A and B are shown apart, each in its own frame.
Chain A
Amino acid sequence: MSINTPEKKVPSPQKPWKPSVAERSQSIAVGVLAALASIAVVALTPMKGLLPFLILSGIFAIIIGYLKGLIGRGSTTAKNNAVGVLLGLGMAIALIPIASILHTTISRGYKGLHWGLWVDDMSLNTSTDPIAEGGLYHALIGTLIMVSIALVIALPLGILTAVYLTEIKGRFARPVKFLVQAMSGVPSIVAGLFIMSAIVYPITKTFSGLMGALALSILMIPTIARTAEEVLLLIPNDLREAGVALGGTQWRTVAMVVLPAARSGLVTAMILGIARVIGETAPILLVSGGGDAVNYNPFTGPMGSLPFYVWKSFFFGTEEATTRGWAGLLVLLSFVIVLFFLARTLSSRKVRR
């Protein structure tokens, strides 16, 4: 009978670290007080505007937080409070640019959006024409072709590098790891210059989409290699051992066990690689020529691209051209955001599994 008495009180799980209502309202009060104090100072002294208000709010928040801790619990808590506010402020400062960038791009770019963007090119228009004319079809096609070719080159090389680092762990593993790191630091313009010096001048003598794609692939390889390496490191060793224990050679184990297990992670690596190069401007300006008409052939003739479209638009300086530029940036930004969240969902699914 005594066993079957569920009435015995089971303590409900508690979270002692969770701030209570009183604590939370206190920290809100600190913020409000700081804001009020700085409003008072801004109103009473010659300092005007948003900037002194924000700076003063920060300083007041730190001081009030400090005093609150000092009165309540002593100097250690006071210091703790002040640092907490300071770190929060640092976070806020880091978020301001991204908020501003998103807001600017959307609020200025949406005016330039119209259906013609997706079907027209700029071969008959210049950037200063009314916004309803012309479009960025040529730029989309160019970016699509160049990024695809870059991907075809960079994906195998990147994944092979990752496999070399995680599966073979050969003699050169350490230098290769460093070199991949160093390669991710290669300035994008140097990649463009390299293609220029190695291929365009000695061999082809002309600009084309292929040259742009080659330059982009140089920038893509390290991103793919590093992400893929991280993913392959997460694959449990049990899987590899199981593959070998079943009599598989290393080749069979990697190809049929390890890589399929890491599939979604490798797709993530690919997407991050695309996101890395889709907005790359400097090498495109150097080697792809940058045309205003649709060009489906990456081997001959200049090829437009989204970053080039944006770049060119802004340099006309008129209102229409600038709006065009922001619209181009908005399209570019939406691509980056979509790719980013695609990569995120894929990689989080992998963790959950």
Chain B
Amino acid sequence: MATTEIQRERRPIPSPRTITTEPRLSDKVFRGIVTAGGLSSLVILGLIAIFLLYQGYEVLVEEGFSFITSSTWEVITDEYGEVQSYSFGIAAMVVGTLLCALIAVVVAVPIAVASALFITFYAQGRLKSFLVAVIDLMAAFPSILFGFWGFFILMPKAEYWAMLLNKYLGWIPLFAVDDRIFTRSPFLAGLVLATMIIPITTAIAREVFDQTPLDRVQAAYALGATKWAMIRNVAIPYGRGGVVGGAMLGLGRAMGETVAVYTVLNIVYQINWQILFGAGGNVASLILLKFGEAKPLEIKGLMAAGFALFVLTLLVNFLADFIVRKTGSKGR
């Protein structure tokens, strides 16, 4: 009895364990790796900007402001292949890009919003899941498919539609043409781009409308609202931000599209505002068009054009994000 007590007294009292929020080494390593991976998008975007700027820097400095304001793109060489003079300006291409993308958005957004509303509030059961699947599938179609479909199927039809528009609505400056050439016009490119961005915009708008609070929907119905009254007063105010964001994303996609536009648009180095006339521009298509035979100097110009396109799409995306956040908080 006594011995055990002595032994107990002798046993050293353990000091209290230090409690710490300091992560262990494994967690530190883990967090480091994940953060590094998470910042990869920042690194890649930064590298894209740096390298394109580095390659196109010379041309950008040389041309200065006229890179955006002039619309001649030419390299004049003598008979030995030496460069005599050159001038790079992408005004026509930028205008063309914006024009095609705007046509696409104007055509696509009403259709996309109508489809999204139909899928969310009218279609039920199997029809609904079928429509959702079809729209999502279409969003996954490669752009080359849209391009050649537009070239072989849509182009003859769109040419006819353009003639009709010009015949009956030609008094509106937008639909006027100087020469009656309707093939490969910005209008056609805009229609092809519209078919490409309808699924994207529809998918985003549908997701937003799907989240309309059920209690508000039911409250509207309980007050005797018809379906349309409910949509107008509950669903649309709630989903407005998301729809605008979806439209902006579609705009960004339409501005950066290369292959589909290249196949259906006639690229001309002249600013053209007549959407039905068969001449247009597109920065991405210009790059694809010129890259094959480009000499080192012209490649620098193309890199500068790529940089401009990159900045333009980033800006649109930034704006989309901003609008969604701003209107999103108001609607809810």
Contact = CB atoms under 8 A, between A and B. Distances in A.
Interface in B118-154: 118-119, 122-123, 131, 133-138, 140-146, 148-149, 151-153
Contact of A329 (B33, B144, B226): B144
A170 B247 CA distance: 30
Given A157-B37, A170-B38, A193-B303, A182 B228 contact: no
Contacts of B24: 249
A44 to B, nearest CB: 20
A100 B146 CA distance: 11
Interface string B168-204: 0000000000000000000000000001001100100
Interface in B28-51: 29-31, 33-42, 44-45, 47-48, 51
Interface string A264-276: 0000000010011
Interface in A183-234: 183, 185-191, 193-194, 196-198, 201, 218, 221-222, 225
B44 A221 contact: yes
Contact of A221 (B40, B51, B318): B40
A77 B316 contact: no
A25 interface: no
Interface string A69-90: 0000000110110011011111
A116 interface: no
Interface residues of B, number: 90
A101 interface: yes
**Main SS class of interface, A:** helix
Contacts of A127: none
Contacts of A91: 114-115, 118-119, 123, 131
B117 interface: yes
A100 B154 CA distance: 10
A101 B149 contact: yes
B229 interface: yes
**Main SS class of interface, B:** helix
Contacts of A279: 141-145
A190 B309 contact: yes
A221 B41 contact: yes
Given A165-B38, A332-B142, A194 B47 contact: yes
Given A197-B52, A333-B141, 7 more contacts: A51-B161, A76-B226, A93-B114, A94-B135, A161-B38, A187-B256, A281-B143
Interface of A: 51, 76-77, 79-80, 83-84, 86-91, 93-95, 97-98, 100-101, 104-105, 156-157, 159-161, 163-165, 167-168, 170, 172, 175-176, 178-183, 185-191, 193-194, 196-198, 201, 218, 221-222, 225, 249-252, 254, 272, 275-276, 278-282, 285-286, 307, 310-311, 314, 325-326, 329, 332-333, 336-337, 339-340, 344
14 contacts: A84-B227, A90-B110, A91-B119, A94-B111, A94-B114, A97-B195, A161-B41, A186-B45, A190-B284, A193-B287, A218-B44, A222-B41, A286-B291, A329-B148
